[in-house]
Amino acid sequence: MTSSFRASAEALSERIKVSFEFFPPKNGDMETQLWESISRLAPFEPDFVSVTYGAGGSTKQPTMNTITRISNETALAPAAHLTCVGSDKATVDAVAREFQAVGVNHFVALRGDPPEGVGAAYQPHPDGYANGAELVAGLRAISDFEISVSAYPERHPESTDFATDIDMLKRKVDAGATRAITQFFFDNDVYERYVERVRRAGIYIPIVPGILPIHNFGQVARFSKLCGTSVPDWLARRFDGLEKDVETRSLVAAAIAAEQVNDLVERGIDDFHFYTMNRAQLVYAICHMLGLRGDGATAPRIQLDAQRTL
Ligand code: FAD
C-alpha cells in the first residue's frame, strides 16, 4: 500500500460523519439487544443517535426511557423522533418539553402516518400541527433546538409529484429545519437526482442519506412497497435462494451496503444515517470499512443490565 493511499484513507475517515437510529424496545430481551448494539456502535462517536417514536405516540414512554438512559449513562448526543399525528398542539409541545427536560436538544420532527397505516388518508387533529412544517415551527417556538426532518428521494407516497414533495421540504426548512434525513433507498442515482432537484429549489441544508442494511430481504421488500422505495432487480437477485441461509445473507447484506456507501463517498457524500434496526453487526462492519475506528477513548459509560426493563 502506498503512503498516499494510506493518507487518503485516513483523511476520508476524518471527514466521515455517522448517526445511528434505534427504536425503543418492547421487552427485556429487546432492551438487552438495544444496549448491546448501542455500546458496540458508540465508539464510532456518532454525531447523534436517534430514537424513533411509535405510530401516533404509541411509544412515548419507552422512547422517553431510552432517551433518558442514553442521556444519563452515555456520552452520546440523543435525538428524539417526535410525531404530531392524532394530538393537539399543546400535547405535542408538552411532550417536546418533557424530552427537553431529560437532555434532548435535537428532534427528528415528523408528521407521522395515519392510525390506519401507511397509505390511508391523513387527517390532522383539529387543533394539531397539520404536517411536518407546522411541527418544526412549533418546536422552533419552544427553543433553539437542532431539528432534523424527513426527505423522500422517491417522493412520499402521498405526494402527487416531486414539486409538491420538495415544496414540503422547503416549508420545513423555512420553518427552521437544519438537516434532512432521507427515507432509505437502494439506487444512488435516484438520491443524486433528488439532491440536485432539492438544490435547484433553493434548499441548502444537508440531505443525509438514510442507509438501511438488509437483515431480511423479504421484510425490506414488503416495507419498501409501502413507503415507495424501489427495489432494483439486481438486489432481489443477490438474495435469491438465501432465505434459509442467515450467515451468507448477512455477508451479502454487508457487501451491498458497503458498495452503496462507498459509491456515495465517491460522489462526495460524507455524512450517513444508519437505520440500525437495533442490530450492530452490519452497521459496525460498514463503519469499519468506511475507515472509522472506535478507539474507546470516548466510549460511553454503559452498564448492561439484562434484568432492567423499560
Ligand atoms: P410531511 O413532511 O409533513 O409530509 C410528507 C410528504 O407528504 C410531503 O413531502 C408531501 O409530499 C406529502 N404531503 C403532506 N401534506 C400534503 C398535502 N397537504 N398535500 C399534498 N401532499 C402532502 N414515523 C413514525 O411514526 N415515527 C418515527 O419515529 C419516524 N421516523 C422517521 C424518520 C425518517 C428519517 C423518515 C424518512 C420517516 C420517519 N417516519 C416515522 C415516517 C413518517 O412519519 C411518514 O413517512 C409520514 O407518512 C410522513 O411524515 P413526514 O414528517 O415526512 O410528513
Per-residue pLDDT reduced to its tens digit, 34-83: 999 999 999 999 999 999 998 877 889 999 999 999 999 999 999 999 99
Counted residue by residue, the chain has a size of 310
> In CATH, what number is assigned to the domain containing residue 127?
3.20.20.220
Whether residue 123 lies inside any domain: the answer is yes
Whether residue 305 lies inside any domain: the answer is no
pLDDT digits 0-9 by tens, 250-304: 999 999 999 999 999 999 999 999 999 999 999 999 999 999 987 654 444 455 4
Average pLDDT, the chain: 91
Nearest alpha carbon, ligand 1 atom 29: 52
**Catalytic residue check, 146:** no
Whether residue 310 lies inside any domain: the answer is no
Whether residue 294 lies inside any domain: the answer is no
Question: Domain range spanning residue 252?
Answer: 3-289
Counting the structural domains of the chain, the total is 1
> Confidence class of residue 230 from pLDDT cuts 50, 70 and 90?
very high
Nearest alpha carbon, ligand 1 atom 8: 165
Is residue 192 pLDDT above 50, yes or no? yes
Annotated catalytic residue, options 10, 14, 21, 243: 21
Whole-number pLDDT of residue 61:
94
| Cβ atoms within 10 Å of 29's Cβ, excluding its own | 11
Which residue in 74, 26, 81, 37 sits closest to 300, CA to CA?
A: 74
Whole-number pLDDT of residue 98:
97
Q: Evaluate whether 147 touches 192 at the Cβ level (below 8 Å).
A: no
Angstrom distance (rounded) from CA 81 to CA 59: 11
